[in-house]
Structure 1
Amino acid sequence: MHRAPRLVAVASAALLTGGLAACSSTSSAETTPESSEDWTPVTIEHALGTTTIEEKPERVATVQWANHEVPLALGVVPVGMAAANFGDDDGNGLLPWVEERLEELDAETPVLFDETDGIDFEAVADTDPDVILAGYSGLTQEDYDTLSDIAPVVAYPEAPWATPWQDMIEVNAAGMGMAEEGAELIESLEQEIDDAAAEHPELAGTATMFMTHVDTTDLSEVSYYTPADTRAAFFEDLGLATPASITAASTDPDKFSGSISAEQIDTLGDVEMIVTYGDQELVDALEADPLLSQMPAVRNGSIVLLPNTPLGTAANPTPLAIPWVLEDYVGMLAEAAAKAP
């Protein structure tokens, strides 16, 4: 079941006459926004204001996590983008699916912004962008205002770090004048997801919690990602279900994580499967805990352990990561779901 992408407020959004550049990491065709003479100004409303892009953006920069994957998937190479700061297994600042896509486009690595200590505004300005994409991000109002002095900025539609991958594609593609191509990319990826999930009917309806922030030395609380987080929201795309207990505990739509006291573990009696970052040490700790071991998912061994590798990183779905990880991730989920009651 897919959530329908929210239509961003676009005034006379310009659509391209060319075909879709890429619906997955397997295509190498390249597309650019329409010519300047055909451009119609695009206006996008988002959580931090309203952005109007008056002229065709030829130089696209992106900040924060994964926004660069939208132009790359559509065949547009950014002039600058954030370096990967999680899951980068070889230290080159690129996740493997991004590296592969650049190779397919026969493109050099763009300028990589070091965001270890926040956005490097000077580095962004040095790339001289025409538009800055940040549809999936945690921009503050101050960040947005500072970036807006450089170029028009496309920010997140509703809340920081809570933009579903479909909406990230939609809003960022609109900011490039590629709304039609963005819609086709969403449709193509959703079909890939449907096809993968259809091969594993055991996934359908399995109540799954994404457990996070686990300290094996202190299991007095159970922390989880709420349905607002993109990792947990991806379960729905795969046909899994959100446990009613997690939905009930996630009362603030702007928060992407929460916690429940282990003393209230009985409220999580509907959790059939757990996905989490960790290794066997974590499983051993859960099984040995007198309270957490009562959870059906723990009792039945229905636990998916994500490693601190690109595979684990890709559990947060992004346009290029989805086709790269889908087969492996769905296989791991299906194996654990088969143990659920």
Structure 2
Amino acid sequence: MRRNRLMLAAAAVVAATLALAGCAGSASPSSSSSSSSEAAAGFPVKIEDAFGTTTIDKAPERVVAWGYGSADALLALGTVPVAIPKQTYGGDKDGVLPWIKLKLKELGAATPAVLPNDGTTMPVQQIIAQNPDLVLAPYSGITKKERDQLTAVGIPVVAYPDKPWSTPWQDVITITGKALGKPAAAAAVLAKIDAQIAAAAAAHPEFRGKTVAQVWDTAGTFYVYLPADARVQFTEQLGFTTDPAVKTLDSGESTFYTTVSPEKIDALAKADIIVTYADDEAQLKAFTGSSDAKLLPQVSTGALAAVVGQARVTAVSPPTALSLTWGLNDYVKQLAAAVAAAGK
């Protein structure tokens, strides 16, 4: 989630240079009745973030989601945000991601207002116009100035706890649950996701112990994802082990990826399988026919699991309360095919 093509390739899908867009239809806030008593009993709550402490006096009814993953967490907990950021990468013509559309349909809710999102600047005035009683932005790039502008007019803001665009997806759900006064419901959402991942791993015992390297060859740069990356951690939960060569290639340029020059790509040749990402089939074909791919025997043997399509890439970049399970079955099928081709 970052601001340019380089960071898009590094998994910053939803905050890549987005075109400004207008708002879609507004939605009425909604919360699940099953956790209403929990919410009522949980206030006031105090949440620490990188800029200070936010006090939420009562259960919020008009929540603006900002950044990535917070809208998903709200919906997973039965609360429909009044506004969400436009997601051009992976979203539909209105900038709404497919799993969000599905959840809104399930809840019988209209599409929230879709806020302009250029990947760098928060549309503060448009947010204020939504008359929110909370702005939820735990995985975002919100600045202190933007936060101060909102709090100056009496709007509580929950920003990231440490650094921008770095909050683990599980923590986004936990923070959202706390902000809504639904910590037990948030824990239940996480437990359900863990159970689905565990079931997928149990169904594929052949994954256990297989080594994997995850890469993206795009715009003339070869990216390798490091163990700190959410998609790597998710894949390890399925039973895989990150190939040791990945750590040896780490140049320290980022916490979650490293770029690799052509003369070093063959260090990944011993991994059992390779996972790669591509915006579309054309980009995948360009990679598999490239000189870089020729350095990886997994490409020619078929031990390559390809995550193709902007929505599917977004779903694990990083995963969210809704997107992880949305793309889980397809991802597992790709991994299983790659392991079978590896024949080890």
Give the structure-1-normalised TM-score: 0.79
Does residue 1:242 correspond to 2:242, yes or no?
yes
| CA–CA separation in structure 1 for the residues paired with 2:52 and 2:270 | 40
Does residue 1:297 correspond to 2:301, yes or no?
no
Residues 52/244 of structure 1: CA separation in 2 closer, same or farther (3 Å cut): farther
Does residue 1:272 correspond to 2:272, yes or no?
yes
> Can you list the C-alpha shifts for 1:255-311, whole angstroms capped at 9, x where unaligned?
33221222123433443322222336645655652x653334335332222222423
Shift of 1:169: 0.6
Q: Which residue of 2 aligns with 1:111?
A: 113
Determine if contact 2:284/2:308 at 8 Å carries over to the other structure: no
Q: Which residue of 2 aligns with 1:100?
A: 102
- Which segments of 5 or more consecutive residues in structure 1 lack a partner in the other structure? 1-27
Identity rate, percent: 35
Residues 247/170 of structure 1: CA separation in 2 closer, same or farther (3 Å cut): farther
Q: Which residue of 1 aligns with 2:230?
A: 230
Q: SS at 1:188's partner residue?
A: helix
1:86 alignment partner AA: Y
Residues 58/119 of structure 1: CA separation in 2 closer, same or farther (3 Å cut): same
Listed as ranges, the matches of 1:69-80 within 5 Å are: 69-80=72-83
Residues 281/85 of structure 1: CA separation in 2 closer, same or farther (3 Å cut): closer
Shift of 1:73: 0.7
Residues 180/254 of structure 1: CA separation in 2 closer, same or farther (3 Å cut): farther
> Can you list the C-alpha shifts for 1:170-204, whole angstroms capped at 9, x where unaligned?
11211211111101110011101111222122222
Determine if contact 1:113/1:120 at 8 Å carries over to the other structure: yes
Determine if contact 2:42/2:182 at 8 Å carries over to the other structure: no
Q: Which residue of 2 aligns with 1:190?
A: 194
| CA–CA separation in structure 2 for the residues paired with 1:141 and 1:251 | 30
Q: Which residue of 1 aligns with 2:16?
A: none
Q: Which residue of 2 aligns with 1:172?
A: 176
Residues 281/109 of structure 1: CA separation in 2 closer, same or farther (3 Å cut): closer
- Number of aligned residues: 308
- If each structure's helix is expressed as a fraction of its own residues, which one has the higher value? 2
Determine if contact 2:38/2:181 at 8 Å carries over to the other structure: no
> Can you list the C-alpha shifts for 1:37-96, whole angstroms capped at 9, x where unaligned?
7443222223343322233322211102221011111111111111222112x4122222
Determine if contact 1:271/1:295 at 8 Å carries over to the other structure: no
| CA–CA separation in structure 2 for the residues paired with 1:144 and 1:254 | 26
Listed as ranges, the matches of 1:124-273 within 5 Å are: 124-150=127-153, 151-215=155-219, 218=220, 222-250=222-250, 252=252, 255-273=255-273
Q: Which residue of 1 aligns with 2:63?
A: 60
Determine if contact 2:229/2:257 at 8 Å carries over to the other structure: yes
Shift of 1:335: 0.9
Q: SS at 1:338's partner residue?
A: helix
Q: SS at 2:147's partner residue?
A: helix
2:227 alignment partner AA: P
- Which segments of 5 or more consecutive residues in structure 2 lack a partner in the other structure? 1-30
Determine if contact 1:29/1:105 at 8 Å carries over to the other structure: no
